[in-house]
């Protein structure tokens, strides 16, 4: 893919990101942080691709496996912890009783 | 359905299409976070997007080493799932710091792998790939080590106070210059593993050196900034790997972290540079500590039964929670007290300062955990005009965010920071462990105000005693 195409995607993502995230209320800023932690778990995709190019030697493999493990921690940990938090935010009609 | 004859799940075009779907899911997921009622579904949509992206990648015909991939995923799951399940809500800031760090670490490791691959292949990178690889390496490493230090501070493995060495800024500047110099060298003179490893090591040192001098009260800014760093490192890794899923997702996270960093800095009326380089809260030779020593120290101490009477016969009470409430795990006790007061017809609200606690939205999560309905949590701009009509402000382990010095004393290090104007309410009760100044080390003139009464002790303990007294009335 050409650099210009990638830059186009990048610039558009910047604007979409600012647009969407500026609408997140203060109350949800912690879930936003842990949710975005989960989303940058997309490095897992990069790590999976890295394993393919790291078959040369042991060190390379170890580095890539650690990267996969890190990415997985991000993905599973991030989404789980965010879900736990957001579950607490759901409206509880009988909370005042 | 019409399927082209040559269609294959391994078709690169199909995988690209999956990435587009994943990107849409991430954006929709984040949009769900614009309201508490849609947030949980949003998170699930984002998770589905992630599953699509990962599965599509596994279909890629270039992917080999599936056992290694599964090994890594197994290790990550074995660590991530129990951690996410068992973490207490009060420990959320350090959890977020840690998760954030591993993301940055992964980005740096991916970049390292790319670099080694290019050396093995014998050819150098194109300049744009080289820049992306180096950016991902440096920013990823800074984010990883910075987050580890933030984690250690929040977990109190090391002191939460700023740790400064003499000439810290000069040292940091020199390290940064060396890192940049190394990058320019690699780009100009070709790829050399030793230079790359040196850059990685120096960036790691920089990450540690950057966060060590930052005090606990500034953590919301730093955590947000590291969040942005990790996102940008992931996006850079996407440029290096020519992968759109990484570019989009990383950029979204970068935007989120940037917005939060800006909001947090604004809420402290300080620039990011000031947070990073001023060693706020360290200032022992500045006005802060001197004021503590010389403060007239005349404060009024009170008892649980007095507080109970004051609260029970008030019309309007505003609770101002801070980090102290988190430390004492007092959120459930606070909720019980508020419920008891409401039963007696007292109007109870919560005033949340944007930087109360150790991360953005920290107090909101704790109070949500205690089943406090989110519409009784008021933001600063909303609640400040209401303080003059408030009978009692109950300040629980919050300090700097209530300090009138931010409005009144141009000499104060926090002058200009927007605060919760509890000093405008008819009376103030401050729950505090002891008379030690807060994290910023600044004397709070609220405490010596004539209408302020101090209730010393563990916040949870104190609240429970007050609750007992209210029930006995």
Considering the domain architecture, whether residues B116 and B169 belong to the same structural domain is answered as yes
d(CA A60, CA A56): 7
Give a yes or no: residue B16 inside a domain: yes
Cβ contact B248:B141 at 8 Å = no
A25 pLDDT tier (thresholds 50, 70, 90): very high
Distance from CA of B385 to the nearest CA of A (A): 19
| B177-189 tens-digit pLDDT | 999 999 999 888 8
Give a yes or no: residue A63 inside a domain: yes
User: Can you give the pLDDT at residue B397?
Assistant: 87
Considering the domain architecture, whether residues B68 and B161 belong to the same structural domain is answered as no
Contacts of B352 in chain A (CB under 8 A): 26-27
Give a yes or no: residue A13 inside a domain: no
| B287-334 tens-digit pLDDT | 333 334 334 567 888 999 999 999 999 999 999 999 889 889 999 999
User: Can you give the pLDDT at residue B398?
Assistant: 87
Contact: A46, B64; criterion CB under 8 Å: no
Last residue of a domain, one of B282, B303, B332: B282
Contact: B103, A41; criterion CB under 8 Å: yes
Whether the per-residue pLDDT at B277 is higher than 80: the answer is no
Last residue of a domain, one of B263, B282, B301: B282
Whether the per-residue pLDDT at A37 is higher than 50: the answer is yes
Give a yes or no: residue B80 inside a domain: no
User: Can you give the pLDDT at residue B278?
Assistant: 64
Whether the per-residue pLDDT at B144 is higher than 80: the answer is yes
Mean pLDDT across the stretch B160-172?
78
Q: Is B174 on the interface with A (CB under 8 A)?
A: no
CA-nearest residue to A80 within chain B is B84
User: Which are the contacts of B31, defined by CB distance < 8 A and separation ≥ 6?
Assistant: A20, A23, B42
Considering the domain architecture, whether residues B64 and B204 belong to the same structural domain is answered as no
User: Can you give the pLDDT at residue A92?
Assistant: 57
Give a yes or no: residue A72 inside a domain: yes
| B221-233 tens-digit pLDDT | 999 999 999 999 9
Contact: A34, B36; criterion CB under 8 Å: no
Share of chain B above pLDDT 70, in %: 93
Give a yes or no: residue B84 inside a domain: no
Whether the per-residue pLDDT at B442 is higher than 70: the answer is no
Give a yes or no: residue B85 inside a domain: no
Share of chain B above pLDDT 90, in %: 60
Alpha carbon B265 to chain centroid distance? 12
Distance from CA of B102 to the nearest CA of A (A): 5
B400 is catalytic: yes
B280 pLDDT tier (thresholds 50, 70, 90): very low
Cβ contact B440:B281 at 8 Å = yes
User: Can you give the pLDDT at residue B399?
Assistant: 85
Number of domains in chain A: 1
Catalytic residue among B218, B305, B371, B400: B400
Mean pLDDT across the stretch B130-149?
95
Give a yes or no: residue B82 inside a domain: no
Give a yes or no: residue B2 inside a domain: no
User: Can you give the pLDDT at residue B182?
Assistant: 93
A97 pLDDT tier (thresholds 50, 70, 90): very low
Q: Which of B202, B205, B169, B209 is nearest to B183 (CA)?
A: B202
Number of domains in chain B: 3
Q: Is B244 on the interface with A (CB under 8 A)?
A: yes
A2 pLDDT tier (thresholds 50, 70, 90): confident
Give a yes or no: residue A60 inside a domain: yes
Considering the domain architecture, whether residues B39 and B111 belong to the same structural domain is answered as no
Considering the domain architecture, whether residues B244 and B193 belong to the same structural domain is answered as yes
Mean pLDDT across the stretch B407-416?
84
Considering the domain architecture, whether residues B366 and B384 belong to the same structural domain is answered as yes
Considering the domain architecture, whether residues B351 and B465 belong to the same structural domain is answered as yes
Whether the per-residue pLDDT at B286 is higher than 70: the answer is no
> Average model confidence (pLDDT) for chain B?
87
**CB proximity under 8 Å: B 390-449 to A:** none
Mean pLDDT across the stretch B124-143?
91
User: Which are the contacts of B121, defined by CB distance < 8 A and separation ≥ 6?
Assistant: none
Mean pLDDT across the stretch B189-215?
90
A85: containing domain? 27-89
| A72-93 tens-digit pLDDT | 999 999 999 999 999 988 765 4
Whether the per-residue pLDDT at B281 is higher than 90: the answer is no
B243 pLDDT tier (thresholds 50, 70, 90): very high
Q: Which of A12, A61, A87, A7 is nearest to B84 (CA)?
A: A87
Contact: A67, B58; criterion CB under 8 Å: no
B244 pLDDT tier (thresholds 50, 70, 90): very high
**CB proximity under 8 Å: B 203-222 to A:** none
Q: Radius of gyration (Cα) for chain A, nearest Å?
A: 18
The pair of three-digit structure tokens given for residue B58, joined into one six-digit string? 């596994």
Alpha-carbon distance values, B411 to B277, B291, B416 (Å): 19, 10, 10
Last residue of a domain, one of B74, B103, B118: B74
B452-456/B427-432 β-pairing: parallel
Q: Which residue of B34, B80, B117 is in closest CB contact with A77?
A: B80
Q: Which of B113, B430, B15 is nearest to A66 (CA)?
A: B113
Contact: A51, B73; criterion CB under 8 Å: no
Q: Which residue of A64, A82, A95 is in closest CB contact with B371?
A: A95
Contacts of A8 in chain B (CB under 8 A): none
Give a yes or no: residue A21 inside a domain: no
Q: What is the CATH number of the domain that holds B461?
A: 3.40.50.1220
B162 pLDDT tier (thresholds 50, 70, 90): confident
Contacts of B64 in chain A (CB under 8 A): 51-52, 55
User: Can you give the pLDDT at residue B287?
Assistant: 36
Least confidently predicted of B13-22, B282-291, B388-397, B448-457: B282-291
Considering the domain architecture, whether residues B241 and B344 belong to the same structural domain is answered as no
Considering the domain architecture, whether residues B454 and B338 belong to the same structural domain is answered as yes
Q: Render the burial of B182-218: b for 16+ CB within 10 Å, e for the rest.
A: bbeebeeeebeeebbeebbebbbbbbebbbbbbbbbb
B452: containing domain? 288-472
User: Which are the contacts of B357, defined by CB distance < 8 A and separation ≥ 6?
Assistant: B93, B220, B322, B323, B326, B363, B366
Whether the per-residue pLDDT at B409 is higher than 90: the answer is no
Contact: A31, B69; criterion CB under 8 Å: no
Considering the domain architecture, whether residues B120 and B186 belong to the same structural domain is answered as yes
Whether the per-residue pLDDT at B106 is higher than 80: the answer is yes
The pair of three-digit structure tokens given for residue B293, joined into one six-digit string? 């020593």
User: Can you give the pLDDT at residue A55?
Assistant: 62
Whether the per-residue pLDDT at B124 is higher than 80: the answer is no
Q: Is B197 on the interface with A (CB under 8 A)?
A: no
User: Can you give the pLDDT at residue B284?
Assistant: 36
CB pairs under 8 A between A and B: 377
Mean pLDDT across the stretch B416-436?
88
Give a yes or no: residue A18 inside a domain: no
Considering the domain architecture, whether residues B43 and B181 belong to the same structural domain is answered as no
Considering the domain architecture, whether residues B202 and B228 belong to the same structural domain is answered as yes
């Amino acid at each position: 893919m050409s650099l210009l195409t990638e830059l186009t995607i990048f610039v558009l993502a910047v604007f979409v990101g600012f647009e969407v995230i500026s609408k997140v209320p203060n109350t949800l800023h912690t879930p936003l942080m842990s949710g975005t932690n989960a989303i940058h778990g997309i490095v897992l995709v990069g790590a999976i691709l890295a394993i393919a190019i790291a078959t040369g030697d042991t060190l390379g493999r170890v580095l890539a496996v650690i990267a996969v493990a890190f990415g997985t921690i991000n993905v599973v940990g991030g989404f789980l912890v965010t879900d736990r938090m957001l579950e607490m935010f759901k409206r509880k009609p009988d909370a005042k009783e | 359905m019409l399927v082209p004859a040559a269609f294959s799940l391994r078709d690169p075009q199909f995988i690209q299409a999956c990435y587009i779907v994943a990107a849409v899911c991430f954006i929709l997921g984040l949009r769900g976070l614009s309201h508490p009622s849609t947030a949980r579904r949003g998170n699930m949509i984002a998770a589905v997007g992630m599953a699509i992206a990962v599965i599509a990648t596994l279909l890629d015909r270039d992917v080999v080493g599936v056992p290694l991939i599964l090994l890594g995923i197994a290790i990550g799951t074995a660590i991530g799932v129990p951690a996410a399940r068992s973490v207490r809500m009060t420990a959320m800031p350090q959890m977020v710091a840690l998760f954030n760090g591993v993301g940055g670490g992964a980005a740096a490791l991916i970049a390292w792998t790319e670099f080694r691959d290019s050396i093995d292949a014998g050819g150098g990178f194109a300049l744009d790939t080289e820049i992306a690889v180096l950016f991902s390496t440096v920013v990823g490493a800074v984010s990883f080590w910075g987050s580890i230090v933030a984690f250690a501070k929040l977990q109190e493995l090391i002191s939460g106070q700023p740790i400064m060495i003499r000439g810290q800024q000069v040292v940091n500047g020199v390290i940064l210059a060396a890192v940049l110099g190394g990058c320019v060298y690699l780009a100009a003179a070709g790829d050399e593993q030793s230079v790359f490893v040196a850059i990685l090591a120096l960036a790691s040192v920089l990450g540690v050196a950057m966060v060590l001098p930052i005090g606990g009260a500034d953590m919301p800014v730093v955590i947000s900034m590291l969040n942005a760093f990790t996102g940008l490192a992931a996006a850079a890794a996407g440029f290096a790997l020519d992968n759109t899923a990484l570019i989009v997702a990383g950029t979204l996270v970068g935007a989120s972290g940037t917005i939060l960093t800006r909001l947090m800095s604004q809420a402290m009326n300080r620039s990011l540079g000031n947070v990073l380089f001023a060693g706020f809260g360290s200032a022992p030779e500045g006005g802060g500590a001197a004021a503590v020593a010389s403060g007239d120290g005349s404060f009024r101490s009170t008892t649980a039964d007095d507080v109970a009477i004051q609260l029970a016969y008030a019309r309007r009470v505003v609770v101002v929670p801070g980090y102290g409430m988190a430390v004492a795990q007092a959120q459930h006790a606070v909720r019980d007290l508020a419920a008891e007061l409401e039963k007696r017809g007292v109007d109870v609200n919560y005033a949340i300062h944007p930087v109360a606690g150790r991360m953005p939205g920290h107090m909101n999560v704790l109070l949500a955990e205690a089943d406090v309905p989110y519409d009784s949590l008021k933001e600063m701009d909303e609640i400040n005009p209401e303080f003059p009509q408030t009978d009692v402000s109950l300040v629980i382990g919050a300090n700097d965010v209530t300090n009138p010095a931010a409005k009144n004393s141009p000499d104060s290090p926090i002058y200009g920071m927007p605060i919760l104007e509890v000093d405008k309410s008819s009376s103030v009760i401050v729950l505090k462990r002891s008379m030690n100044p807060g994290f910023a080390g600044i004397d709070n003139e609220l405490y010596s105000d004539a209408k302020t009464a101090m209730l010393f002790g563990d916040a949870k303990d104190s609240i429970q005693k007050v609750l007992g007294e209210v029930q006995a009335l």
